[in-house]
Amino acid sequence: MRPARVLAAVFATSLLAACGGEESGSGGEAAADFPSQNVRLIVPYTAGGPTDIAARALAAHMEEELDQSVVVENLPGASGATAYQQLISAEADGHTLSMTALPTAVLNYLSNDVGYTREDFTPIGVVTRVPSGIVVPADSPYQDVESLFEAAKADPGSVTVGTPGATNTHAAETQRITQLYDVPLTVVPFDGNAEVQTALLGENVTAGFVNLSQDMLPAVESGDLRVLAVGSEETLPYVDAPTFVEEGFPELVQSTTTFGVIAPAGIPDDVQQTLEATLQSAAEEPAVVETLDERYVPEEFIGSDGLGELFVETEETFRDVMTG
């Protein structure tokens, strides 16, 4: 059910557009006419992963709120760059949106010439925040991260770590482990958690640094995979594993992945506000929260300004890692 304040926000922006006689913002259509066609919601990763799960739950809610079809389109590749190139080439009218995963989106443009930066996006809001951890197959000889790291030091290059992307928080944190603690880990990037899990179960990599999300937890809960440590500041009630901090690695707290929604830069302010209000109502809808899993939905909604701040904070945290 739509909260009263969301109705008020949508009504207010529509009324301003209708009374003002002009479109607000820098271009495109006014919120009173938005959306006037199907909304395209791009997912930068393969179907079935955490970003895709979030997108499909969100799309169903948006269809009810906006009274238009919301079409989810998976465009994996280049750690999200394929999807973001599609996004920024679209008209800035709010009808084309993209899911985004931070820090991956930021790390990609910090380390590669991908044709975009955060200035090319309008942040809409945060959907979920998912912590990460280092996992190993059930029969791995490593019982904790210290023994894993000691094996890497003893035989440089022998310990491979699968990550769900080449330029994401997991790959960057693995590189920070090498820089901060002189642990020579070899990053092996894949397209998403599912591919990392397959490689782990096939014993094609020594360990994985992954999102501890809905798609990964069943393998952990069944005992097929073991979590050696989690990258959150506090222990997780749903994962039986210590934090890196508790294991003696206090700097390793930057691996939480933030999943949000972005639009092309320059969408009208009132359209942005309508989308933000719709995202907030989704975060307060019990059925949506259940699908997303309440463990990952922030207690307080993080809107456009908050997501924009996370983009800046991520740049500041990882710039030296990617360019140093």
Quote the Cα angle for 85-38-55, to 5°.
60
Statement to judge: residues 296 and 214 lie in one domain: no
What is the CATH number for 203?
A: 3.40.190.10
Choose among 118, 113, 128: nearest CA to 50: 128
Statement to judge: residues 30 and 113 lie in one domain: yes
How many domains are there within the chain? 2
More confident of the two residues 323 and 122: 122
Statement to judge: residues 139 and 185 lie in one domain: yes
Statement to judge: residues 157 and 213 lie in one domain: yes
**Residue 166 confidence (pLDDT):** 80
Statement to judge: residues 43 and 84 lie in one domain: yes
Q: Please indicate, yes or no, if residue 81 is contained in any of the structural domains.
A: yes
Q: What is the mean pLDDT of residues 1-5?
A: 39
Statement to judge: residues 122 and 151 lie in one domain: no
**Residue 3 confidence (pLDDT):** 42
**Residue 316 confidence (pLDDT):** 87
Q: Please indicate, yes or no, if residue 212 is contained in any of the structural domains.
A: yes
Q: Please indicate, yes or no, if residue 249 is contained in any of the structural domains.
A: no
Residue at a domain's end among 230, 265, 290:
230
Residue at a domain's end among 212, 230, 248:
230
Statement to judge: residues 176 and 224 lie in one domain: yes
Q: Please indicate, yes or no, if residue 250 is contained in any of the structural domains.
A: no
Statement to judge: residues 38 and 79 lie in one domain: yes
pLDDT greater than 60 at residue 25 = no
Q: What average pLDDT is seen over the chain?
A: 88
Q: Please indicate, yes or no, if residue 248 is contained in any of the structural domains.
A: no
CB contact at 8 A, 96 and 262: no
pLDDT digits (tens, 9 = 90+) for 265-289: 999 999 999 999 999 999 999 999 9
pLDDT greater than 90 at residue 212 = yes
Q: Helix crossing, 104-111 with 169-181: angle to 10°? A: 70
Range of the domain at 192: 132-230
**Residue 79 confidence (pLDDT):** 77
Q: Please indicate, yes or no, if residue 41 is contained in any of the structural domains.
A: yes
208: phi > 0 → left, psi -120 to 50 → alpha, else beta; which? beta
pLDDT greater than 80 at residue 18 = no
Statement to judge: residues 73 and 39 lie in one domain: yes
Statement to judge: residues 261 and 118 lie in one domain: yes
Quote the Cα angle for 257-171-131, to 5°.
25
pLDDT digits (tens, 9 = 90+) for 138-169: 999 999 999 999 999 999 999 999 998 887 78
Least reliable range by pLDDT among 20-29, 124-133, 286-295: 20-29
Question: pLDDT > 70: what percent of the chain?
Answer: 90
Least reliable range by pLDDT among 11-20, 188-197, 204-213, 231-240: 11-20
Statement to judge: residues 63 and 160 lie in one domain: no
Query: Given pLDDT bands bounded at 50, 70 and 90, which one contains residue 205?
Result: very high
Query: Given pLDDT bands bounded at 50, 70 and 90, which one contains residue 10?
Result: very low
Greatest mean pLDDT range, 155-159, 231-235, 292-296: 155-159
Statement to judge: residues 187 and 213 lie in one domain: yes
